[in-house]
Amino acid sequence: MGSGQETKYDIKAGGFASRLHTKLQQVRPLLEPLINLNLMELNIQEHSAPITKIYNALSSKGDGALHENPDKEFNVGATKVLHFLNPNFFIIIDNNASRAYRMSHNVRFRNTTQPGYSAKLYVQCMECVKKDILNYGLEQFKALEQGIPVTRIYDKLTFVTGSGI
């Protein structure tokens, strides 16, 4: 699995786990109220300020960055961490998803390998997800893959759409 794997997940070893722990402690007061929320049951704009701050903290480059290379941002990883923490609220955005949002919703991602991820676009995409699911019908959407969070189902759809499969 590559070099450094023996310390990658050890919180005391100074690797990714240590950096993630530090970042999560920093955003904990903002994150805790969001942990049990459901994307379908609230006004996203009411929560956009803490979402933005959390996203920016997790994705930032520089000292304490989550990316292995502190000169690089951790945008996709930040969305995966958030989705892991609350898969009923946070969405995942990667290159395929950004392409799907650009194609389907005119979200202003660039058509490049670095599509210009940002907290603002992340919140905008969360709104697109909610709108699409509600327009489709929440119960119908849940029936596509029972027992799976709707954001995960939507993630699979953005993958297929964005990858051109």
Mean pLDDT of the chain: 93
For the chain, what percentages of helix, strand and coil (3-state, to nearest 5) are there?
A: 60, 0, 40
pLDDT level of residue 1 (50, 70, 90 thresholds): very low
Residue 117 near residue 59 (C-beta atoms within 8 A): yes
Containing 159, the helix (H) or strand (E) segment is helix 150-163
Question: How far is Cα 98 from Cα 79, in angstroms, rounded to an integer?
Answer: 12
Q: What is the pLDDT of residues 96-122, one digit of tens each?
A: 999 999 999 999 999 887 899 999 999
Chain segment 138-165, per-residue pLDDT in tens: 999 999 999 999 999 999 999 999 998 8
pLDDT band at 4 (very low <50, low <70, confident <90, very high): low
